[in-house]
Amino acid sequence: MEKPRELNSKNEKFGEWYLQILEKAELMDDRYNVKGFYIVRPWLMNIIDKVYKIWEDELNKKGHKKVSFPTVIPIENFEKEKEHVEGFSPEVFWITEGGDTKFERKIALRPTSETAFYSIYPLWIRSHEDLPLKLYQSCSVFRYETKATKPLLRAREFIWIEAHNAYSNKEEALNQIKEDMNITTKVSEKLGIPFLFFKRPEWDKFTGAVFSFASDTILPDKKRLQYSTSHYLGQNFSKPFDIKFSDEDEKEKFVYQTCYGPGISRMIASIISLHSDDFGLILPFYLAPVQIVIVPILKKGREKEILEYCEKIKEKLKGYEVKIDNRDKGVGSKFYDWELKGVPVRFDIGGNETDKKEVCLFRRDKREKSFIKLEEITENIKIIEKEIEENLKKTASKNFETAMSETETTEELKEKVKEGFVKIPFCSRATDGENCAEKIKDICEIAGTLYPEENPPENKKCIVCGKEAKVWVYACRSY
C-alpha cells in the first residue's frame, strides 16, 4: 500500500505530520471555537484511559490514595506563597463573576493544585500518626499559554496526574523524590519512551520548590519534551499554610513536602510521535482499542462461509479486543483505516484462507504479511504481541541514542543542538549559570544536570563565559 497522501513524512515535516495524524486517525478535533482547547475523540480517549490506569496502578502500589479537589482555587490561597503566585499569575485563567454577580475576590481555574491541597492539609494533619500523607488526583489543569498552542504538546487545558505528599522529616520527603523517579522509569519503560532525568537549574525550577527534577524525551523534530516533574518543596508551603503535626514528644513541627506531576497529555504525544510512521499510528497491544481486526475478503457465492470462518477465528482469540470489519466498504479502504489507527495485527481472510484453514496476518509495526495455521493462532499472537512491544521500544531507544552529542564550543553547539541533547561544560547551575544561559537563549535552553549527577568536568572551561566549568549540563531546543 502506498503512503497515505494526506500524511507528510514524519522525519522531514514532523510538525505537519503530527497535526495530520491527529486529524486523519480521528484522535482529536481542533475545531473547537476557543483557542488552545481541543476535543479528544473516542479512539484516543480509549488509549488515554489505558495510560492513566498504568500510572495510577503504580501510584496505588506505592501507597498513594486518589482524591478529587475542586477545579477552582481562590486567590487568597495563591497569595500565601509569594514565589508561587508570582510564578503562576501570568498563566492563570481568572473567574471574576458568576451570573450577574461580580466577585470581590478572583477565583482561578487551577493551573496546578498545591494551594488547593495545602489549604486543607492543616485540617487533615494533626499528629505524626497522620503521616505520611500521599494523595493524588487525575484531572485537567488550565494555563493561559501565550506561545503557539499545539494539541497535547502545548495547550491551554491539559490532563495529568498530580500527587501531593507530606512527611514528618526531610529524609522521607527526599526518598519520595526517588520513588517518583522509579515510578516514572517503570511507566516510561513500559510505554517505550526513552528519556533522561534532569535536575533543573535554579532559574528553571518549579516556583516554590527547593529543587526540581524532570524527565525529558526527544521528539522526531529533535526538540525536548518534558513529560513529568518531581519537586522537593521542603517547608516552603507548610509554613505559610501552617501544616503542622505533633511528634511523639508532643512537639509541633512543620511537615516536609513533595509534589509529582506526570503529564498524561505529553506522554500521549510522545507515544504518538515516537512509535508511529508515515502510514499512521503504531500501537502496542496493551494500548490499542482494537488489538486484532479481521477483514473478510468476500467472494460471490461464498460470503456466508467466509464470514463464518471469520467468526471462528474470533472465537479462538477470546481475551483480545477483536473486531470483524464487515462494513460495506472496499477492502483497500479498510486496510487504510486500520493502518492509520495503528491496530497491531490484521487478518485478511478470503476464500484461500478459508479453504486452507489459515490466516493471512499483517503486522502493523513491520508492515509485513505471513500465513499461520488456524490451530496455531493463539500461540503465535502471544509471541507477536511481545515482539511488537519490544520492537517499538528498540526503535525508539535507537533513535534517542542518535539525539545525543557533546561539544565545548558555541559554534558547534549551534549546529549540534538541532539534533537533540548536547552535553556541554558549564560554570554553574545557579546564578552565574543563569547569566550564561541567558546569553545563549537564542541558540538553546539548558535542560539541567543529569541525575544521578555525573562527575564534574576536569580542566574544562564554561562554554559561554570561559570560567572554570563546575558541571556538565545538557542543552536543547524545547517545546
Give residue 3's pLDDT: 65
Report the predicted TM-score, pTM, of the whole model to 2 decimal places.
0.96
318 and 213 both lie in a single domain? no
| Phi-psi region at 459: left, alpha or beta (left = phi > 0; alpha = psi -120 to 50) | left
Please indicate, yes or no, whether residues 127 and 168 belong to a single structural domain of this protein: yes
Is 73 contained in some domain? no
- The C-alpha cell at 285 is 497491544
Q: Which long-range contacts (CB under 8 A, 24 or more apart) does 181-185 make?
A: 181/213, 181/215, 181/230, 181/451, 183/55, 183/58, 183/59, 183/62, 183/260, 183/262, 184/215, 184/228, 184/230, 184/262
Q: Which residues have CB under 8 Å from 382's CB, separation 6+?
A: none
321 and 443 belong to one structural domain: no
Q: What is the pLDDT of residue 86?
A: 81
* 163 and 251 share one domain: yes
Q: Considering the domain boundaries, does residue 393 fall inside one?
A: no
CATH code, domain carrying 151? 3.30.930.10
- 322 belongs to a structural domain: yes
Is 110 part of a structural domain of the chain? no
Residue 453 in any domain: the answer is: yes
> What is the model's pLDDT at position 15?
96
- Per-residue pLDDT, 4: 65
Question: What residues make up the domain containing 307?
Answer: 292-387
Tell me: do 172 and 297 sit in the same domain.
Answer: no
Q: Are strands 292-296 and 345-349 parallel, antiparallel or unpaired?
A: parallel
- Identify the CATH number of the domain in which residue 365 sits: 3.40.50.800
Asked whether residue 86 is domain-assigned, the answer is no
327 and 382 share a domain?
yes
Using alpha carbons, select from 14, 27, 265, 22 the residue that is nearest to residue 156. Answer: 265
Among the listed residues 360, 305, 296, the one whose alpha carbon sits nearest the alpha carbon of residue 330: 296
pLDDT (tens place) for every residue of the chain, 479 residues total: 566 667 999 999 999 999 999 999 999 999 999 999 999 999 999 999 999 999 999 999 999 999 999 999 999 998 887 777 787 888 999 999 999 999 999 999 999 999 999 999 999 999 999 999 999 999 999 999 988 899 999 999 999 999 999 999 999 999 999 999 999 999 999 999 999 999 999 999 999 999 999 999 999 999 999 999 999 999 999 999 999 999 998 999 999 999 999 999 999 999 999 999 999 999 999 999 999 999 999 999 999 999 999 999 999 999 999 999 999 999 999 999 999 999 999 999 999 999 999 999 999 999 999 999 999 999 999 999 999 999 999 999 999 999 999 999 999 999 999 999 999 999 998 877 999 999 999 999 999 999 999 999 999 999 999 999 999 999 999 99
* 382 lies in the same domain as 463: no
- Could you tell me if 305 and 347 lie in one domain? yes
What domain count does the chain have? Answer: 3
Assess whether 270 and 296 both reside in one domain.
no
C-alpha cell at 210: 527547593
The Cα–Cα gap between 189 and 16 comes to 28
Q: Same domain, yes or no, for 305 and 264?
A: no
Same domain, 366 and 409: no
* Residue that is last in its domain, among 240, 275, 310: 275
- pLDDT for the residue 282: 98
Domain at 430, CATH number: 3.30.110.30
